[in-house]
């Protein structure tokens, strides 16, 4: 009865009715404008429904604070959950993406760490190993006035980069038990339940790790001193602490960063691969307990000039076929390494810009790469491993679920493949989100034509 009376009132009262109509029209215009604007974000290079994102918790309730939200590490665990870590101004946080609820749940603050990078690994018992340190995303205070002279700029850069580490005790290694820790929900600021394993190298951030679970060894690289360490997981102590790089080079896309490799690969035979001086592949032999420089050189921009020492570093490793290892360099090149034949093949560069910010193997026999420098929008590329397709430009990453939500991402620093083939991409801007891309089981599901996608 009240509804009928209400409709009658609007019909009789012309002034109120007119006001109601104008209000409705205004509402439609206001809601339609963002939707129409968001439509400009739609990427014509792939089906838009294959891309989405998730907030890092419930907004205004459990979500990780914006300044601590940039995602800098991702790992797909054996059980299917995807774990990630952030880097920020005040703290680093651990989180998980749970397929059962289709949401991200924050797991708490990671000790005293402000940054966690390529330092997530899963041990044989299902626990996670985490390496922390200072935030690499924090701006470096550079000295503007200093005496000139031979290599004065490089010497001053090193002083400025090393300054925050002057009194730093060192980044810690932690162990997280998902069986115990995943069961509880945590609000912003609460600590993540961790076992503190100790400091592998004093005065340094743990920058990259690789696990040899069978040998009970965790291998790592530190920043800024570029030390290669071997951590005994049974005794919880550093067994080896070796210099990886002697010269201090700033040839990477981050001009205020020292060029230090960002990835390690522990092969089934126990050897560990990374890059070193002059962009050469470096291999650690666990029997000899030494780092050996090889003749293989990762692709990049090399300038044979007098008194110049620039070279690229390894950004990511992906083991695809047996005996073959795919790597990406800081200059944006993709290459294939045959471990048995000690042969490296340059596969090319998908984009003019430097850096491959993340790389993962998709379910469609493609390597997917996030490419782009700082302060430039990242783009998604792929490389077909079957020989039928080379590089493919998938374009920028923009989600359009208007009028409900829409978001365009620019910066990424982590990537992982889920157990169902979903690609997880960690945004590394302020108020970051976890992006999901579904390539499909086949190259072009449902007759999708890459030359005419719409």
Share of the chain above pLDDT 90, in %: 71
**Per-residue model confidence (pLDDT) at position 80:** 92
What mean pLDDT is predicted for residues 329-347? 95
Secondary structure element (H or E) that encloses residue 53, with its range? strand 51-54
pLDDT at 231: 98
Residue entry with tokens 């397929």: 99
254 band by pLDDT with thresholds 50, 70 and 90: confident
Question: Could you tell me if residue 75 is inside a domain?
Answer: yes
Q: What is the mean pLDDT of residues 343-356?
A: 95
Confidence of residue 27 (pLDDT cuts 50, 70, 90): very low
User: Residue 422: which pLDDT band, with cuts at 50, 70 and 90?
Assistant: very high
Taking 60 as the threshold, does the pLDDT of residue 12 lie above it? no
CATH number of the CATH domain containing 397: 2.130.10.10
> Does the pLDDT value for residue 321 go beyond 60?
yes
- What is d(CA 5, CA 10) in angstroms, rounded to the nearest whole number? 9
Give the closest residue to 39 by CA, choosing from 395, 401, 380. Answer: 401
Q: Report pLDDT for 445.
A: 40
- Cα–Cα distance, 398 to 51 (Å, whole number): 8
Task: Give the tens place of pLDDT for each residue, 200-241.
Answer: 999 999 999 999 999 999 999 999 999 999 999 999 999 999
Across 22-36, 41-55, 361-375, least confident range = 22-36
23 is a domain residue: no
Asked if the bond preceding 224 is cis, omega within 30° of 0, the reply is yes
Tell me how far apart the alpha carbons of residues 406 and 78 are, in angstroms, rounded to a whole number: 32
Q: How far apart are CA 195 and CA 76, in angstroms?
A: 21
Average confidence (pLDDT) over 358-377? 92
Range of the domain at 409: 48-447
Residue 213 lies in a domain: yes
Task: Report yes or no on 221 lying in a domain.
Answer: yes
**Across the strands, what pairs with 220?**
209, 229
pLDDT at residue 128, as a whole number:
98
At residue 251, does pLDDT exceed 70? Answer: yes
| Any domain includes 15 | no
| Least confident span in 184-188, 312-316, 437-441 | 437-441
Res. 45: pLDDT tops 90: no
Residue 367 pLDDT grade (very low, low, confident, very high; cuts 50, 70, 90)? very high
pLDDT (0 to 100) of residue 6: 34
18 occurs within a structural domain = no
Mean pLDDT on 188-204? 96
Q: For residues 23-43, b (16+ Cβ closer than 10 Å) or e, as one string?
A: eeeeeeeeeeeeeeebeebeb
DSSP per-residue codes, 72-119: EEEEE-TTS-EEEEE--SS--EEEEEETTTTEEEEEEE-TT-SB--B-
Nearest in space to 133 (alpha carbons), one of 165, 101, 157: 165
Q: What does each C-alpha distance from 150 to 147, 154, 167, 257 come to in angstroms?
A: 10, 9, 28, 20
Least confident segment among 33-42, 44-53, 96-105, 124-133: 33-42
0.85 surpassed by pTM? yes
C-alpha to C-alpha distances, 448 to 10, 350, 391, 440, nearest whole angstrom: 51, 22, 17, 11
State pLDDT tens for residues 270-298.
Answer: 999 999 999 999 999 999 999 999 999 99
Please check whether residue 42 lies inside any domain of the structure.
Answer: no
335 and 329 Cβ atoms separated by less than 8 Å:
yes
Say yes or no to pLDDT of 56 above 50. Answer: yes
Nearest to 266 by CA among 222, 236, 228, 296: 228
Task: Judge whether 272 and 281 are in contact, CB under 8 Å.
Answer: no
Structural domain count of the chain: 1
| pLDDT for the residue numbered 253 | 66
Residue 16 lies in a domain: no
CA distance 392 to 450: 9
């Amino acid at each position: 009865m009240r509804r009928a009376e209400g409709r009658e009132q609007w019909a009789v009262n012309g002034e109120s009715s007119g006001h109601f109509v104008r209000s409705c029209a205004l509402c439609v215009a206001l809601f339609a404008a963002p939707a129409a604007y968001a439509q400009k974000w739609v990427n014509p290079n792939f089906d838009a429904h294959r891309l989405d994102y998730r907030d890092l918790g419930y907004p205004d309730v459990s979500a990780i604070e914006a300044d601590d939200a940039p995602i800098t590490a991702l790992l797909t665990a054996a059980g299917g959950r995807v774990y990630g870590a952030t880097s920020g101004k005040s703290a680093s946080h651990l989180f998980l993406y749970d397929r059962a609820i289709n949401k991200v749940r924050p797991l708490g603050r990671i000790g005293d760490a402000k940054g966690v990078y390529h330092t997530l690994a899963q041990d044989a018992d299902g626990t996670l190993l985490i390496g922390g340190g200072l935030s690499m995303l924090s701006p470096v205070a550079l000295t503007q006035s200093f005496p000139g002279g031979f290599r004065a700029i490089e010497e001053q850069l090193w002083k400025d980069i090393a300054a925050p580490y002057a009194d730093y005790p060192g980044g810690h290694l932690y162990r997280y038990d998902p069986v115990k820790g995943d069961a509880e929900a945590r609000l912003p600021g609460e600590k993540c339940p961790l076992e503190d394993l100790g400091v592998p190298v004093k005065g340094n951030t743990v920058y990259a790790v690789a696990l040899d679970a069978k040998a009970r060894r965790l291998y790592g690289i530190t920043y800024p001193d570029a030390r290669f360490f071997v951590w005994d997981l049974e005794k919880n102590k550093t067994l080896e602490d070796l210099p990886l790089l002697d010269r201090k080079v700033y040839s990477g896309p981050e001009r205020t960063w020292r060029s230090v490799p960002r990835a390690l690969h522990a092969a089934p035979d126990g050897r560990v691969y990374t890059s070193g001086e002059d962009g050469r592949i470096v291999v650690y032999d666990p029997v000899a307990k030494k780092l050996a420089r090889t003749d293989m050189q990762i692709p990049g921009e090399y300038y044979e000039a007098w008194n110049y020492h620039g070279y690229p570093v390894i950004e990511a490793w992906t083991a695809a076929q047996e005996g073959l290892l795919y790597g990406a360099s800081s200059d944006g090149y993709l290459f294939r390494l045959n471990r048995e034949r000690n042969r490296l093949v340059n596969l090319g560069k998908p984009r003019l810009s430097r850096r491959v910010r993340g790389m993962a193997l998709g379910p469609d026999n493609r390597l997917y790469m996030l490419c782009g420098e700082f302060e430039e929008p990242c783009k998604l590329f792929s490389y077909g491993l079957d020989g039928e397709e080379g590089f493919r430009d998938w374009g920028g990453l923009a989600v359009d679920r208007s009028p409900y939500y829409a978001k365009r991402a620019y910066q990424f620093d982590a990537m992982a493949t889920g157990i169902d083939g979903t690609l997880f991409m960690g945004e590394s801007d302020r108020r970051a989100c976890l992006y999901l891309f579904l390539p499909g089981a086949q190259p072009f599901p449902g007759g999708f034509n890459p030359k005419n996608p719409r």
